[in-house]
Structure formats: structure tokens, C-alpha cells
Amino acid sequence: MAGTGSRTKKVADSFKVVSTKSTILEQVYSKAIEAKKLTENKIGNLIKIKNTSLGIDNEADILATKSLLSGILKQVPIEGAEGVDVTGLLEVMLKDSAYIFSGKFNDSTITFKIPMKVENEMESQYSISDLEIGPVTIIGIYRGTYKKSMIDNKINRILSLQNLSKQNDTGIESDESQNQEDKTSEQMTHFIDVIAVIQELTIK
């Protein structure tokens, strides 16, 4: 009976948390300004962006990060790293890793991040990839316009480590990679400090 009571309490606590979040989100949604043109927003505005489709920009890097944090290297002998907790070291280096999402809204590009976790990233058994299916509404704080490459370099920990490795190995990057980086750096995007991503319901 004690076990049953404990499970019942956990379910009740979970329900209270979800209910509280829904109540708060309803208030945030109602107060958020519906964006028409992102260029008309001021930094710090609470906005909602409707009917935008999303894609994960750094999917390959996220997969590599999850593999590293899962402890896959524990069973792989690394020369010169005997006695070193490689997984623990990686956890420190990659603890701020995040999914980088981009989407189109009218004639603009929007970008935001969602912190990465190895498991239980979203409630109700949803997965991050579900955000790529169909149009969604984004609620968040407008942070301004930035070069896409600057955002990627600040958020994408794997990319930062790769860039550092290239600099240590060669001191300079190849012309091809430099040209590609120059093209990316010219792309501008509106960064949103996201609060919630929701699917609008049509009830008749």
C-alpha cells in the first residue's frame, strides 16, 4: 500500500506542476504581442510568432554530443588519457549544448535555442523532432538581429571545439572553409529567447 500511495502522490504532484505551467503560459500568451514584421519589434518585447515551420540546424552535432555524453568513450582506450574521466570532462565542456532551431517568418529568418538533455527533453513523451512537423507558434522575448554564424559559434559547443582544433592544428583555415564561413556570416537572423513552442488548436 505504501508503494501505491507514493505513486499516487507523484501523479498528483505532476498534475499540479503541469496545471501551474498551463495557467502561467495562458497569461504569457495573452500578453504577448503578435508579430507581423520582426523588424518592427524592439529588443525585450514579449512576442508570439504564428504559423512558422522549424528545422534543427545542428542535428549532426547534437547526435555527436549525445553519443559522447552517453559514456560511449568509457570503453574506448585513449592513448595518454589513462586514469582520466573522459566522460566527466566532456560533460563539463558540453553542458551548455543546445538545439539550434531556425524558421521562416514572412521574409525573415528566426533562430532560437533549446537546451539539450540526454533524456526527457520534453514533457508528455514528446520529442524535439516533433517541433519540425507542421506549423507552430513561438512565444518568447525578442533579442534583435544577429549574424547567423555568430549565434552558431556561441551556442554550438561541438562547432566551437572544431574551430579551436582547426586553429591549433593549422593556425589558418582553408580557402574553401573560409569562403563557406564568409557566406554563412552574411546571413542575418532574428534571435528569440524562447519561452514556449505551441501548436495552435482549431476548435469548431
> pLDDT digit of tens for each residue in the chain (204 aa)?
445 555 555 544 544 445 557 778 888 999 999 998 898 899 999 999 999 999 998 888 888 777 776 665 555 555 555 555 656 666 666 677 788 999 999 889 999 998 877 665 666 567 788 888 889 999 999 999 999 888 887 777 565 555 544 554 554 455 555 555 555 557 899 999 999 998 877 776
The Cβ of residue 93 has, within 10 Å, a number of other Cβ atoms equal to 16
Nearest to 139 by CA among 18, 34, 53, 17: 34
From CA 75, how far away is CA 155, in angstroms rounded? 29
For residue 145, the model assigns a pLDDT of 94
Q: How far apart are the first and last CA of the chain?
A: 45
For residue 71, the model assigns a pLDDT of 62
Show the cell assigned to 22. 498551463
Show the cell assigned to 76. 574506448
For residue 123, the model assigns a pLDDT of 61
For residue 15, the model assigns a pLDDT of 42
For residue 47, the model assigns a pLDDT of 96
